[in-house]
Structure 1
Amino acid sequence: MKSLFAPVFIVLITSFSSCVITSPKKYNALLAQKDSLSLGWEAARVKIESLEQEIAKLKTDTSVLSARISDLSSMIKKLDDSYTSLRSNTSSEITKLSADLQRREARLKEVEDILKKRDEATNALKNKLQKALLGFQQSGLSVDIRNGKVYVSLTDKLLFSSGSIIIDDKGKLALQELAKVLKTQPEINISVEGHTDNQKVVNLGQIKDNWDLSVLRATSVVRYLTETEKIENSRLTATGKGEFQPVEEGTSPEVRSRNRRIEIVLSPKLDELYNLIK
């Protein structure tokens, strides 16, 4: 804009200086024109300066916005990279979790199958023992299932004389029938538990208390089953519970009689199950 008005102004000045004779009217007109051009040039100069300031401000704003856009683009790229990585890791993790879940479900199915077979075998063993020992059930023998194990409970009067640890003939007959079944079940472990009532032991010689009596009676049964009936020693365990696990609380003769018992606990070997859940 400056380059446009400056030559015009120079031409006008030159024109004024070259005129030797000019009429007052024409002279006044030229002066008016000159003043008008001067005002226009000044207004244009102010406008130009304002525009130049605006351009400078716009350049500054553009620079700031460009930097902001660059920062945002960098941030977006990082977010995209993080999302891509996360999606990849999540997909991989989901795949691993799915495979692990499938393995666990397969193992759970195996455990359930084993437990089902155990329960079926336990029920079958109970039924077989009930049939084999049917003739002794009126004499104080019972067979039931507790916690996945078969319990053969024999009252002391079926096996021993009062205060004795020697098995009588009737007791031997019951153990013989029991042994016949146990010999057909080599996968069954056998625990023989002796139990007494809460009466103190009196005048029993080497037997000092109910602990001794319960242990020695359990040992007598184990010896008979291993030495006479030839059941493998490794399958049997003898334990004495004394008076501390009664089947019924009370002091009447009937209650004490029920508490004096031998319990033969039959449980399946669970090596397969233990190996599976390690």
Structure 2
Amino acid sequence: MIKKAAMGFAVLALTTSCVSKKVYNELETKFADLKKENRHIADQNDSISKVKNQLNLDHIALKSDYDKLKAERDKLAVDYAASSKNLKTLQESYKALEKNSDESLQANMAKNRELLAQLESKEKALAAEKDRLNKLNADLKERSNRVNELESMIAAKEASMKKLKETLSKSLKAFEGKGLTVQQKDGKVYVSMENKLLFESGSWAVGSEGKKAVVAVGKVLGDNPEISVLIEGHTDNDKFAGAMGQIENNWDLSTKRATAIVNILSENKSVKKDNLTAAGRGEFAPLMTNDTPEGKAKNRRIEIILTPKLDEISKMLNDI
């Protein structure tokens, strides 16, 4: 607009030859001012353009931030709605739980009281059982001591019987090979004498050689007064054919022979008569078969069975 005005003034000046110098100068000055103003306006226009461009960039950035904030706001709104729903659910659950907790607490307290009562009962039972166990342990220890003592006594008896067997074997050595044997078994000592050493067939009278053997046994028994003595008479299975009226059968004969041995042992004043027992076994406890002469000879015998007195041991066994 200003350029157009300046050009109009210039054309007018050139076409008007009659214009005065003063007017010309004024116009020229005004033109210069207009040009200066035009440059200033152009500079302002450039500055405004730069500001406009910057404002456009700022607007774009602000719009982007706005869109981002809006998306975040929308997301927060959704999260808030979900959280609010969850909070409401939790509040309702808490109220229900709080109500149930009181009921559960009362039930648990009752259960705990019951468990405590059971525990006290079990503690009392355990204490009683402990007392019983202590008593059993004391009894067991006492019984163990008695068993040890009993074993010692049995071992001593066994050693005593072994010594007795050795003494008898030594005292009766002269009768070895004459139908006399000495052996130890089951805690007892057995002195076995065949009839050929002691009796004639069908007789219960002891011969001189046999009497020497019995007397030797009596001497050993006199030195061992704590020994019980069982004298058993045995026969073969041949029917007794001696004088009728005096002997009824083999059993009667075996008994008379056992009694004869007891009478010889009783002649020794050191032998305690209440330790002696006579028994007839007849043909009913054979050592061997009666089908051979050798077997029958072994079965016709006297057995002197020496047993340690076990009264003290029996008493201890009853006390255990």
Q: Does 1:225 align with 2:265?
A: yes
1:264 alignment partner, one of 304, 309, 313: 304
Measured in 2, the distance between the counterparts of 1:247 and 1:52 equals: 103
Gaps of 5+ in 1: 1-49
User: Match for 1:264: what amino acid?
Assistant: I
Query: After superposition, where does 1:24-35 map in structure 2 within 5 Å?
Result: none
| 1:56 CA displacement | 7.6
Indicate the larger mover: 78-87 or 115-124. Answer: 78-87
Say which one has the larger Rg: 2
Distance 1:54 1:129 in 2: 103
**Partner residue, 1:82:** 121
Q: Tell me the residue number matched to 2:228.
A: 189
1:212 pairs, out of 252, 255, 262, with 252
1:234 pairs, out of 255, 265, 274, with 274
SS of the residue corresponding to residue 163 of structure 1 reads coil
> Residue 167 of structure 1 corresponds to which residue in structure 2?
206
Partner residue in 2 for 1:37 = none
CA drift at 1:53: 8.9
User: Kindly tell me: are residues 163 and 65 of structure 1, through their superposed partners in 2, closer, same or farther at Cα, counting changes over 3 Å?
Assistant: same
Q: Map of 1:1-278 to 2, 5 A cutoff? A: 57=96, 60-205=99-244, 206-226=246-266, 228-230=267-269, 231-278=271-318
Secondary structure of 1:154's counterpart equals: strand
Shift of 1:67: 1.9
Q: Contact 2:236/2:290 (CA < 8 Å) preserved in 1?
A: no
Unaligned residue ranges in structure 2 (runs of 5+): 1-88
Question: For the residues of structure 1 that align with 2:261 and 2:205, how far apart are their CA atoms?
Answer: 9
Residue type matched to 1:209 in 2?
Answer: N
* Deviation by residue 1:5-47 (Cα, 9 ceiling, x = unmatched): xxxxxxxxxxxxxxxxxxxxxxxxxxxxxxxxxxxxxxxxxxx
Structure 1 CA distance, aligned partners of 2:263 and 2:171? 21
Tell me, in whole angstroms, the C-alpha distance in 2 between the residues paired with 1:54 and 1:197: 106
Partner of 1:5: none
Partner Cα separation in structure 2 for residue 51 and residue 148 of structure 1:
91
| Per-residue Cα deviation, 1:85-125 (whole angstroms, up to 9, x for no partner) | 23322322221121111011111101101110011001000
How many residues were matched structurally?
A: 228
Counterpart amino acid of residue 216 in structure 1: K
Q: Residue type of the partner of 1:212? A: D
Q: Judging changes above 3 Å, is the alpha-carbon distance between structure 1 residues 186 and 53 closer, same or farther for their aligned structure 2 residues?
A: same
CA root-mean-square deviation: 2.1
Measure how far apart 1:229 and its partner are: 2.4
Letter in 1 for 2:303: E
Per-residue Cα deviation, 1:192-224 (whole angstroms, up to 9, x for no partner):
000000111113332121101100100111112
When residues 75 and 175 of structure 1 are mapped into structure 2, their CA distance, relative to the original with a 3 A threshold, is: same
TM-score by length of 2: 0.67
Normalising to structure 1: TM-score of the pair?
0.77
Q: Which is worse superposed, 126-135 or 57-66? A: 57-66
